[in-house]
Structure 1
Amino acid sequence: MRQVIQSLKTGSIELADVPCPALQRGSLLIRSNTSLISAGTERMLLEFGKAGWLGKMRQQPDKVRQVLDKINTDGLLPTLHAVNSKLDEPLPLGYCNVGTVLAVGEGVEGYAVGDRVASNGRHAEVVAVPQHLCAKIPDSVDDEAAAFVVLASIGLQGVRLAEPTLGESFVVMGLGLIGQITVQILRAHGCRVLGIDFDANRLDLARRFGAETVDLSSGADPVAVAMEFSRGRGVDGVLITASTKSNDPIRQAPQMCRKRGRVVLVGVVGLDLARADFYEKEVSFRVSCSYGPGRYDESYEENGNDYPIGFVRWTEQRNFEAVLDLMADGRIDVQRLITHRYPIDRVGDAYLTIDGESGNSLGILLQFPQDESKSKQLLRRTVHIDQTNERGRDTGQSPGIAFVGAGAFARHTLMPTFRQVGARLAQVASRGGLTALLNGRKFKFATASSDIQSVFDNPEVDAVVIATRHDSHADLTCQALRSNKHVFVEKPLALNEEQLTDVVSAYETACRSNNRPVLFVGFNRRFAPQVKKIHSLLAPLKVPKAFVMTVNAGAIPADHWAQKQDSGGGRIIGEGCHFVDLLRYLSGHPIDSVRANMFGPQSRELVCDDKMTITLGFSDGSMGTIHYLANGNKSFPKERLEVFCDGRILQLDNFRRLRAYGFGRFRKMNLWSQDKGHLAEVKAFVDAVSGKAPDPIPLEELIEVTRVTMDAVRAAKTGETVLYNEGNQSLQSRRAAA
C-alpha cells in the first residue's frame, strides 16, 4: 500500500510503498477513501523541513538546549550523530481520514466490516486506528464532509472550553479551516460572531456563515471594531484559531473582552502575555488540547479504556460523533471550504498548493483509488527492499539478522551497529509497517514487514534481534528459540519469574532438539573499552572490592509505560539490570545477597521505583552499591562508577573519562566520545552466531542478573534481604535489621 511521508531534513514529500499495518487489539483496519490535508499543521512541517540548520534551531529553541546538554554529557560526535539520525527519520503525514472498515480487532465493539468511519488515520491507503479515535459516519454525511470531522472537533473542543451561551458575542481570530468551522459552531450555539483575518476570500466565507468580519489587511483596529461589535461592553469571549509567531492575537484578545471574559487558544501564536490585560478584567485564559479529553492518554487511546460518560461527557470520540451529527443536521457546512481535490498519485501537487506556489487554498482533499482488483496488493504485509541481502547465504556472508521492533534505540544504535560489523540484514518487522520500511531502506535490509510471525518463519533469518517494548521480550524470545533462531534481546530478558522460567524452558528445549542457540541480552556496558580496562586492572587483585555505581537516570512521567509494572517492569527491572550486570561482570563472582531501599512518599506502594539504592553482596566478600536516582540534574554525568580496592581507586564518568589512583603508571583513559560498548557487544554476538567465538555472556549470568534485579525490587518493597545459594536460587529472605 502507499503512504505519504515527509523528510524532516529537506521537507520533500514522498508516496512510499509501505507494508500494510497489522491489526491490533482494540483497533480497526480501515481502507481509505479520502483524507484532508491540515493546511496549518502540515505547512509548518514543510517549512521546518525546508529550513536550514539555523532556521531549524530558531524554530525549536528548546531542542537546542537539549542538544547542548547532550554535548556536555555525551560529547560532540555522539550528539551530532543523534541529531542527524533524528532528522533522517521521515514523518508520516495526515490525521483527517475517512474510509471503510476492513477488519475489526479483538475487544472492539460497535463496528463491523464495511462501516464507513472517520478517524485520525494518516494519508495512507490502509490505516490501523484505535477504536476511540474513530466514529461511524451517518448515511446522510458524505465522505468529503466527513474528512473534516477531526479538524472540526478541534474547533468544537475550543468552543466547549469557552462555554458560550445563547446570545453571547464572540471573536474568532484566524479564519482558516478550524476558524471557519468554529464560526459555524458558535452560530449554532446562538452566538453573534466577529471573524478576524487578513485574507479577503476567508473573510467572505465567514460572512456567508453568518459572521461579521474585520479585514486586518486594511489597517482596521480589531480591538476597536470588537468593542463596537459588542455595543461597547466587550465581547464575552475570544477563540484564537490563528497560526502565527506574532504576539498580537494574545495581546489583543483580553483587550476585546468584557470583565471576566474568556480567551481560549486553539491555534499556535506567540505567548508574550501582558498580565495587566488579564488581571484588571479578571479574564480567564485556557489552552484547548486537540480533539478533547482523552487526547494523548495512552489508557484511553491505545488501551481502549473509555471515560465514564457521567463524569466526562465529551471525549474526543464523542466530539467526533457530535460533529457528524451537526453535519447531518446541516449545522456545519464544509463543502464551501473545499478548494482542491487531488488523487493520491498527485500528492506532490497537493503540497505545492498548501506551500503557496499554486494560489489560494483552504480545504485540500486527497482521494484514494477504490480498485477492488488491487485489494490483495493493499494488504501485502511484506515488501522487498534490497534483493542482494537475500542472496547472502549463498555467497557465504554472515548469518542473516532480523529485527523485531524498529523504535528509537533500534534505529539509532543497534541497526547501524549491526550494519557496521558487516551483518547480513535479512528482515525488519514492526506492527505499523512504516518504521520497518523506513529503516529497512536506510540500513539495507532485504525485506520490511508488519508481520512479526514472518520473521520466525523466514529461512533466511538465523538470528533475531528483539527491540520491542519490555513486556513482549520474554514471549518473543521464546518464539524465536522455538523457531531455531539465535536471539539478541534488549534488556530486560523478562519482567517476572514466570516469564524467566518460560525463557529458560524454551532455551533448554531448543538445546535438546537442535544445535545450541546463542541467547544474548543487551548488557552492553560490560563491553565498553574502559570497563574492559577496569576489569583487567582488577583481575589480579584477589581481595574484596567495593563498587559504587551512581546513575543520574533523569525523571520520566509516572504514567509512562516504562514506569508500569505490567508494560515496562518499572525502571529498575527495565534499566537498572544494566548496572547489576556491570557489577557482576567486574566482580567476577556470583551474587550471594541483595537488599534495596526506595525513598519518596509512595515508595512502599512501588508506584515508581526510580529512586532506589541496591546493595549487592558477592561470594568473594565484595560489595556493590547502585544508586539509581531520577531526581538529579542533567548537567551531572548520567553514569558514574567508582571502585575502591586494596588502597586504589578507579573512577569512570559517563563512559568518557576514566581516572585511576594508586595503579602505578596507569592514571587515565579518556575518550573523545562516549563508548558504552555497543559495537563490541554486537560483534561478539555475531561472532558467536557464526561459530567464531563462545557465547558473549554465559546463560547462568543472564539468569542470575535478571533474577537478582527482580528480587531487588521485591526487597525494596518488603524491607527484606534476599540470600542466594551457589545456583542463584533464593536461599531465604530475612527481614532487614531496623
Structure 2
Amino acid sequence: MNQLIQDLRTGETRLIEVPIPAVGPGQVLIRTRRSLVSPGTERMLVSFGRGNWLDKAWQQPERVKQVLNKVRTDGLRPTLETVFRKLDQPLPLGYCNVGIVLAVGEGVTDLHSGQRVVSNGPHAEAVCVARNLVAAIPDAVSDDDAAFTVMGAIGLQGIRLLNPTLGETVVVIGLGLIGLLTAQLLRLNGCRVIGTDVNEHRLTLARQFGITAINATDAVSTVLARTDNVGADGIVITASTRHDKLIAQAAQMSRKRGRIVLVGVVGLSLNRSDFYAKELTFQVSCSYGPGRYDPTYEQQGQDYPLPFVRWTENRNFQAILHLLGTKQLLVGPLISEVVRLEAYQRVYDRMNDPKASGGPMVASLFRYTESAPLESTLTLNERYVSAGSSAIGLIGAGNFAASTLLPALKAAGASVKTIASANGLSATRLAQKFAIARSTTDYQTILNDPAISLCIIATRHNSHARLTIDALQAGKHVFVEKPLAIYAPELAEIVSAQQVSERFVTVGFNRRFSPYVQKMKALVGGAASHMTLMNVVATMNAGAVPPDSWLHNRTVGGGRIPGEACHLVDLITFLTGSRVAGVCLNTMGPFSETADSASLLLRYENGATGVVNYFANGSTSYAKERVEVYTQGRTLILDNFRQLTGYGFQNFSRMTGRQDKGHAEQFRRLVAWLSNPNIRPNELLIPFADCVNATQTMLAALQSGRDKRWVPVDTNSLTTRHLR
C-alpha cells in the first residue's frame, strides 16, 4: 500500500510503498477513502524538513542543549550518529482520515467490518488507529464532509476552554481552515464573531458564513469600535506564526478580565503589562480534547466517565459529526480540490506557493482507490536466501534496531532476510537502508520461513516472552533483547519451551563483550579463588524519562529497573565468574515496582559481592555508566565505556578510546556461530542459564522490595534439567 511521508533529512515529501499495518488489541484497521490535508500543520512540517541545519536548530533550541550534553558525555561521533538517525526517521503526514473498517482488535466490540469511520490516521491507503481515536460516521455525513471532523474537534476544544456564553463577542485571529471552522462553531454557540486575517480570499469565505471579517492590520481599532471600546469577551488564536505580535494584539483588543485561548502556533513572549492591567486569562488548547496524549485513554482504551469528563476527544469527534449531519456546520465551501493520493505533489506545491495554479488553498482532500492491493509483506528486492543458509529474521524496527542492532549486524556480515514491525513504515525504511529482502507486519512470516534459522526480537518488553516462545516452537534459535521476561510465569514458560525445542536462546546483555570489560576480565584473572575476593560496583546514571513513558508501565515495560538494570547484573556476573545467589533491593522513597532510582545488593554463589546503582535523578551532563572492581589490593575504574583506569597493576594503567559497549563484538560472535554450526554457542555467546539467572535476579529484586528482605535466587528452581 502507499503512504505519504516527509523526509526530515532531505526535506522531500514522498509517497512510499509499505505493508498494511497489523491490528493489535484495542485497535481498528481502516481502509482509507478520504484524507484531509491540514495546511497549517503540514506546511510547518514540510518547511521544517526543507530547512537547513541552522533552521532546524533555531526551531528546537532545547534539542541543541541535549546534543551538547551528549557530546560531553559520549563523544562527538556517537552524538552525530544519533542526530543523523533521528533525521533519517520518516515522518508520516496527515491526521484527518475517513475510511471503512477492515478489522478490529481484541477488546473492540462497538465497531464492525464495513462500517464507515473517521480517525486521526495519516495519509495512507490503510491505517491502524486506537479505538478512542475512531468515531462512527452517521449516514447523513458524506466522506468529504467527514474528513473535516478532526480539524473541527481542534477548534471545538479551543471553544470549550474559552467557555463563551450567549451574546458574547469573540474574535478569531487567523481564518485558515481551523479558524473558519472555529468561527462557525462560535456562531452556533450564540456568539457575535469577528474574524481577522490578512488574506482576502479567507475573509471573503468567512463573510459567506455570516462572520464579520476584518483585515488583521486594523484589527485592534476595529474590534474596539465594534464593542463600544469595551473590547472582546474572548479571543481564539488559530493562526500560525513565529512572531509574538499576535499575543500582544489579542491582549490589546480584549476587555478587562477577558479570556484568550491559543489553538494555533505563535511566539509566546508575553508582555506582562498587556496582561496585568486587564487581568487577562491565557490558556493553550491541546489538540482534540481531554484524553489527547494520555496513553491510558488513547492506547489502553480507558475512557473517562461521561458524568465527570463530558467532552473527551472522541466525544468531540461525535459532536462535530452531528453538526455536519444536520448541516449546521458547513464545510463544502472550504474544499479547494479533491485529488488522487498519487497527485499529492500538486497539493503541496499549491499549499506552499500562494501563486500556484488553482488559487489560494483552504482545504484539499486526497481520494483513494479502494481496489488497491493491501499486503502484509513487501518484497523490496529479489535477493534470494536459500533454505540451507543461516538467515536472520528481525522482529522490531524501533530506535535500538535502527541505531545499534542493524549497523552491528551489517558490519558482522549477517544475512537479514526479513524485518517485521507493527506499522510497516519503520520496517520498510530499515529494510531499504540495510538491504533487507522483505519487510512485513506479520511476524509469522519470519517464523514460517525455513530459510530463517535465527529470530532476533527487539520489540517492547511485554512481548519478549510471547515472541520468544513462538519462535522456539517454530524451531528457531532466539536472540532477544533484554529483558527476557517481565513476569515469573512467562520466564518458566520460556525455559520449558527451550527445553522442548532444544534451540539456543540468548539475551542481548552486550556490555560483557565490550573491549574494556574483556580487558577487565583478563586483568583480574579467571581463577576461582580470585573471584571470591571480588567486589564490583556498577552505577547507571540513567536519567529521567517522562512519567507516562511505556517504560514505567509494569505490564508493558516492566519498570526501568527490571528492564534496564539487568544489563549491570549480567556484567557483574561476567566479571565475578559466578551467578547471583541472593538479592536485596532498596528504592528511594516508598517501594514501587516501577521505581527508577534504587540500589541492588548482590550475593554471588562463589562469595563475590556486587552493587548495582540505578539512578534517574542525576545530571544528564555526567557520564551515564561507571563500573568499579576491587580485588586483591587492586582497583579498576571503567568510565562510560570510554576509559579504563587501573590501580595496583604492574603492567597496566590506562586504556582509552571511543565509546564501545560491546554491541559490535556481540553480533560478530553471533554471526560467527550461525556461520559455523560446529561451534558451541556457549563458547561465544551468553549461556542461557546466565540469561535466566539475570532475569530471576530482577524478579527477585522486586520481591525483595515488597518484602523488605534478602531474597534467594535459584536457577535450578525452574527446571531439573541442565539449562543449555
Report the TM-score when normalising by structure 2: 0.95
Aligned partners of 1:282, 1:346: CA distance in 2, in Å?
A: 50
Superimposed CA distance per residue, residues 290-313 of structure 1 (whole angstroms, 9 cap, x where no aligned partner): 000111111111111111101110
CA distance in 1, matches of 2:693, 2:24: 34
Specify the alignment match of 1:609 in structure 2: 595
SS in 1 for 2:170: strand
Per-residue Cα deviation, 1:47-105 (whole angstroms, up to 9, x for no partner): 11111112211121111111111111111111111111111111111110111112222
In the alignment, which residue of structure 1 is the partner of 2:420? 429
Give the structure 2 partner of residue 382 of structure 1: 377
- The DSSP-based 3-state class of the residue aligned with 1:387 is coil
Structure 2: which amino acid aligns with 1:490?
E
CA displacement at 1:518 relative to structure 2: 2.3
Contact map agreement 1:392 1:424 (CA 8 A) in 2: no
Which residue pairs with 1:406 in the alignment? 397
SS of the equivalent of 2:520 reads helix
Is the partner of 1:640 in helix, strand or coil?
A: strand
Within a 5 Å distance, the mapping from 1:83-232 to structure 2 comes to 83-216=83-216, 219-220=217-218, 222-232=219-229
Give the alignment partner of residue 299 of structure 1, picking from 296, 314, 333: 296
Listed as ranges, the matches of 1:313-462 within 5 Å are 313-356=310-353, 358=356, 359-371=359-371, 374=372, 377-378=373-374, 380-388=375-383, 390-391=384-385, 399-462=390-453
Give, in whole Å, the separation in 1 of the partners of 2:163 and 2:414.
Answer: 60
Supply the AA of the counterpart residue of 1:305.
Q
Q: Secondary structure at the match of 1:228?
A: helix
Q: Which of 661, 664, 675 is 1:679 aligned to?
A: 664
Distance in 2 (alpha carbons) for counterparts of 1:726 and 1:13: 53
- 1:274 corresponds in structure 2 to 271
The residue that corresponds to 1:627 in the other structure is 613
Shift of 1:560: 1.9
Please tell me the residue identity of whatever aligns with 1:383.
Answer: L
**Contact 2:397/2:430 (8 A) holds in 1:** yes
Q: Which residue of 1 aligns with 2:673?
A: 688
Q: Distance in 2 between matches of 1:62 and 1:724?
A: 44
After superposition, what is the alpha-carbon deviation per residue over 1:154-210, rounded to whole angstroms, capped at 9, x for unaligned?
000000000011000011111110000000000111111111111111111112222
Structure 2 residue identity aligned to 1:228: A
The equivalent of 2:63 in structure 1 is 63
Amino acid at match of 1:144: D
* 1:475-486 correspondence to structure 2 within 5 Å: 475-486=466-477
**Which residue in 1 is equivalent to 2:487?**
496
- Tell me the CA shift for residue 451 of structure 1: 0.8
Distance 2:593 2:385 in 1: 50
Deviations 1:110-145 (A, max 9, x none): 222221111111111111112211111122211111
Query: 1:533, CA displacement in angstroms?
Result: 0.6
1:711 match: secondary structure? helix
Q: Give the letter for the 2:160 counterpart.
A: R
Q: In the TM superposition, what is the alpha-carbon distance from 1:726 to its structure 2 partner?
A: 8.1
Q: Which residue of 2 aligns with 1:659?
A: 645
Q: Deviations over 1:202-250 (max 9, x none)?
A: 111112222222313xx42x22222112221111111110100000111
In 2, distance between residues paired with 1:701 and 1:49?
Answer: 46
Q: Is the 8 A contact 2:700 2:713 kept in 1?
A: no
Counterpart contact for 1:659–1:667, Cα < 8 Å: yes
Q: Secondary structure at the match of 2:693?
A: helix
For residues 555 and 713 of structure 1, the distance between their equivalents in structure 2, rounded to whole angstroms, comes to 20
Q: Does 1:649 align with 2:635?
A: yes
Which sections of structure 1, spanning at least 5 residues, go unmatched?
A: 512-516, 731-738
Letter in 1 for 2:67: V
Structure 1 stretch 33-42 or stretch 128-137: which is displaced more?
128-137
Kindly indicate whether the alpha-carbon contact (under 8 Å) linking 2:696 and 2:715 is maintained by their aligned counterparts in 1: no
Length-normalised TM-score, structure 1: 0.94
Please say if 1:522 is aligned against 2:508.
Answer: yes
Q: Give the Cα separation in 1 of the matches to 2:580 and 2:22.
A: 43
Secondary structure, counterpart of 2:469 in structure 1? helix
Q: 1:715 aligns with which of 704, 712, 720?
A: 704
Q: Is the 8 A contact 1:340 1:364 kept in 2?
A: yes
Work out the CA distance in 2 between the residues paired with 1:157 and 1:607: 36
Q: Who is 1:467 aligned against?
A: 458
Q: Is the 8 A contact 1:591 1:728 kept in 2?
A: no
Distance across 1 between alignment mates of 2:134 and 2:581: 54
Q: What displacement does 1:425 show?
A: 1.1
Read off the aligned partner of 2:391 and give its amino acid letter.
G
Contact preservation (8 Å) 1:406, 1:429:
yes
C-alpha change, 1:626 and 1:178, in structure 2 (3 Å) is same
Contact 1:527/1:676 (<8 A) preserved: yes
Letter in 1 for 2:122: R
Q: Deviation string for 1:491-512 (max 9, x for gaps)?
A: 000112111111111110012x
Residue aligning to 2:517: 531
Contact 1:401–1:423 (8 Å) recurs in 2: yes
Tell me what 2:245 maps to. Answer: 248
Deviation at 1:276, TM superposition (A): 2.4
Q: For 1:274 and 1:442, how far apart are their aligned partners in 2?
A: 49
Question: Whole-Å Cα distance in 1 between the matches of residues 619 and 53 of structure 2?
Answer: 28
Indicate how the Cα distance of structure 1 residues 662 and 241 shifts in structure 2: closer, same or farther if over 3 A, else same. same
Alpha-carbon distance between aligned partners in 2 of 1:346 and 1:703, rounded to the nearest angstrom: 54
1:393 CA displacement:
5.4
Structure 2 SS opposite 1:462: strand
Specify the alignment match of 1:735 in structure 2.
none
The alignment partner of 1:223 has SS state of: helix
Report the residue type matching 1:212 in the other structure: T
Post-superposition Cα deviations, 1:230-277, rounded to whole Å, max 9, x if no partner, equal 221111111110100000111221222112111101010000011222
Query: What is the aligned partner in structure 2 of residue 736 from structure 1?
Result: none
Instruction: Return the alpha-carbon distance in structure 1 between the equivalents of residues 581 and 634 of structure 2.
Output: 25
User: 3-state DSSP class of the match of 2:584?
Assistant: strand
Asked whether the equivalents of residues 511 and 517 of structure 2 are also in contact (C-alpha less than 8 Å), the reply is: yes
Match of 1:258 among 255, 258, 276: 255
Q: Give me the identity figure in percent.
A: 46
Aligned partner of 2:106: which letter? Answer: E
3-state DSSP of counterpart to 1:254: helix
Q: State the AA in 2 paired with 1:610.
A: D
Give, in angstroms, the shift of residue 692 of structure 1.
Answer: 5.7
Q: What's 1:733 paired with?
A: none
SS in structure 1 of the partner of residue 452 of structure 2: coil
Q: 1:607/1:645 Cα in 2 relative to 1: closer, same or farther (>3 Å)?
A: closer
Structure 1 range deviating more: 283-292 or 561-570: 561-570
The 3 A distance-change label for structure 1 pair 725 and 158 is closer
Aligned to 1:281, the other structure's residue is in SS state coil
More deviation, 167-176/428-437:
428-437
Shift of 1:724: 4.5
Which position in structure 2 is the counterpart of 1:514? none
CA-CA distance at 1:413 after TM superposition: 1.0
Match of 2:722?
none
- State yes or no: 1:704 paired with 2:679: no
Amino acid at match of 2:313: E
Shift of the 73–209 alpha-carbon distance from structure 1 to 2, 3 Å rule, reads same
Q: Does 1:236 align with 2:233?
A: yes
Amino acid at match of 1:640: R
- Which residue in 2 is equivalent to 1:286? 283
Partner Cα separation in structure 2 for residue 727 and residue 336 of structure 1 = 73
1:686-714 deviation line (CA, Å, top 9, x unaligned): 22223264320111111111111111121
Query: Does the 8 A contact of 1:558 with 1:608 survive in 2?
Result: no
How far apart are residue 525 of structure 1 and its match? Answer: 0.5
